[in-house]
């Protein structure tokens, strides 16, 4: 479903008028997209649940991001969910989509909160989205009980409440209270002072590492070509379609093309991998023997 081309209010209005899918229809649409890449089915599935994405996006307005941007990110998360959803698992799509929508919005908020990333681990995300709320509640409870908390005590209580290490709370507190500075600012008041960006370590690969990486990649490519050469034409076709395409094909689609069952395609794929593994192990033993 295209999300561009709508005004700030057009997409929410359209989403509210979308159909409500029953479980059976939802399942049929999911199968149509997964097995046949039916774009009309994907469009219908995403459109039906866009109201869910918009509802979740509205809960993140307090972080200062434009609502239209939040809706766009929620829509992207919804489409990722539709693309990865497996209808065979017996779970409603809406239940599955909630996680992807929330993750997409949270990542967007954290990317745009500061030029310096506030963190990407699960504990850092939990802190970012809950720290101020938990801190305010703890302070209210302490005040009601007539207890005076110092900064260290409060941070310890937040860490226990959110379930993260104290060090993470201290780091997040500093990040949330700090402001962004330009890396082009000089380190001193002197006009000829060195800029902060000049003090950053170059994280790129050094020349020796680049040569080693290219050599290893070429060696691995040669091994894979040799391993692929041990397969039959049909096995090579299955491995190529299943593992070497940007969008891997399903067992069902290959079975339809080759006139075989889904289970037979799986067996041929497993046999091909076993042959390739045997070839790769043999080649690696030869290299170790040569070096040793």
Instruction: Give the domain CATH number at 23.
Output: 1.20.120.1810
User: Which of 113, 147, 166 is the C-terminal boundary of a domain?
Assistant: 113
- Tell whether the model's pLDDT for residue 118 goes beyond 70: no
Q: How confident is the model at residue 29 (pLDDT cuts 50, 70, 90)?
A: very high
Kindly report the number of other CB atoms within 10 A of residue 248's CB atom: 12
Shared domain check, 109 and 16: yes
Q: How confident is the model at residue 6 (pLDDT cuts 50, 70, 90)?
A: very low
In a domain, 61, yes or no: yes
Q: How confident is the model at residue 187 (pLDDT cuts 50, 70, 90)?
A: low
Look up the domain containing 94 and give its range.
10-113
Residue pair 52/27 in contact by the 8 Å Cβ criterion: no
Say how far apart CA 163 and CA 239 lie, in whole Å: 44
Closest by CA to 50, choosing from 68, 71, 30, is 71
Shared domain check, 46 and 24: yes
User: Which of 62, 80, 113 is the C-terminal boundary of a domain?
Assistant: 113
Shared domain check, 130 and 106: no
Shared domain check, 17 and 96: yes
Angle subtended by helix axes 251-258 and 233-243, to nearest 10: 150
State what percent of residues in the chain have pLDDT above 90.
16
Shared domain check, 106 and 21: yes
**Between 18 and 239, the higher pLDDT residue:** 239
- 3-state helix, strand and coil shares in percent for the chain, rounded to the nearest 5: 70, 0, 30
How many structural domains comprise the chain? 3
How far is the CA of 189 from the CAs of 179, 182, 242, 247, in angstroms?
A: 20, 15, 60, 55
Shared domain check, 120 and 105: no
In a domain, 171, yes or no: yes
Rounded to 5 degrees, φ, ψ at 128 are -60, -45
In a domain, 162, yes or no: yes
In a domain, 56, yes or no: yes
In a domain, 191, yes or no: no
Q: What is the pLDDT of residue 263?
A: 92
DSSP string, 106-134: HHHHHHHH-SS----SHHHHHHHHHHHHH
Q: What is the pLDDT of residue 292?
A: 44
In a domain, 198, yes or no: no
Shared domain check, 99 and 30: yes
Say how far apart CA 152 and CA 136 lie, in whole Å: 15
- Tell whether the model's pLDDT for residue 18 goes beyond 80: no
Which of 48-52, 64-68, 91-95, 111-115 is least confident? 111-115
DSSP 232: -
Shared domain check, 122 and 172: yes
Shared domain check, 103 and 37: yes
In a domain, 251, yes or no: yes
Shared domain check, 22 and 81: yes
Shared domain check, 150 and 242: no
User: Which of 113, 130, 148 is the C-terminal boundary of a domain?
Assistant: 113
Q: How confident is the model at residue 174 (pLDDT cuts 50, 70, 90)?
A: low
Say how far apart CA 196 and CA 181 lie, in whole Å: 10
Domain of residue 262, CATH code: 1.10.10.10
Q: What is the pLDDT of residues 189-224, one digit of tens each?
A: 555 556 655 554 455 555 555 555 666 677 677 778
In a domain, 27, yes or no: yes
DSSP 194: P
Shared domain check, 120 and 109: no
């Amino acid at each position: 479903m295209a999300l561009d081309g709508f005004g700030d209010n057009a997409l929410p209005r359209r989403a509210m008028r979308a159909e409500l899918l029953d479980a059976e229809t939802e399942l049929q649409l999911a199968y149509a997209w997964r097995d046949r890449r039916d774009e009309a089915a994907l469009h219908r599935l995403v459109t039906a649940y866009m109201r869910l994405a918009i509802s979740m996006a509205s809960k993140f307005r307090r972080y200062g991001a434009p609502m239209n941007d939040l809706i766009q990110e929620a829509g992207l998360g919804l489409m990722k969910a539709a693309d990865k959803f497996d209808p065979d698992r017996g779970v409603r799509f809406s239940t599955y989509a909630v996680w992807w929508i929330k993750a997409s919005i949270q990542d967007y908020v954290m990317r745009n909160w500061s030029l310096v990333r506030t963190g990407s681990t699960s504990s850092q995300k939990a802190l970012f989205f809950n720290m101020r709320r938990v801190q305010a509640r703890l302070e209210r409870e302490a005040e009601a009980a007539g207890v005076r908390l110092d900064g260290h005590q409060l941070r310890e209580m937040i860490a226990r409440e959110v379930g993260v290490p104290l060090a993470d709370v201290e780091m997040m507190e500093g990040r949330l209270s700090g402001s962004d500075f330009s890396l082009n600012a000089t380190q001193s008041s002197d006009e000829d002072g060195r800029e902060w960006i000049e003090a950053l370590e170059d994280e790129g690969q050094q020349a020796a590492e680049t040569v080693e990486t290219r050599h290893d990649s070429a060696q691995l490519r040669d091994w894979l070509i040799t391993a692929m050469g041990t397969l039959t034409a049909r096995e090579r076709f299955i491995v190529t379609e299943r593992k070497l395409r940007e969008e891997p094909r399903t067992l069902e689609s290959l079975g339809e093309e080759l006139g075989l069952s889904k289970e037979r395609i799986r067996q041929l794929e497993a046999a091909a991998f076993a042959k390739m593994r045997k070839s790769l192990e043999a080649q690696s033993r030869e290299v170790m023997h040569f070096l040793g």
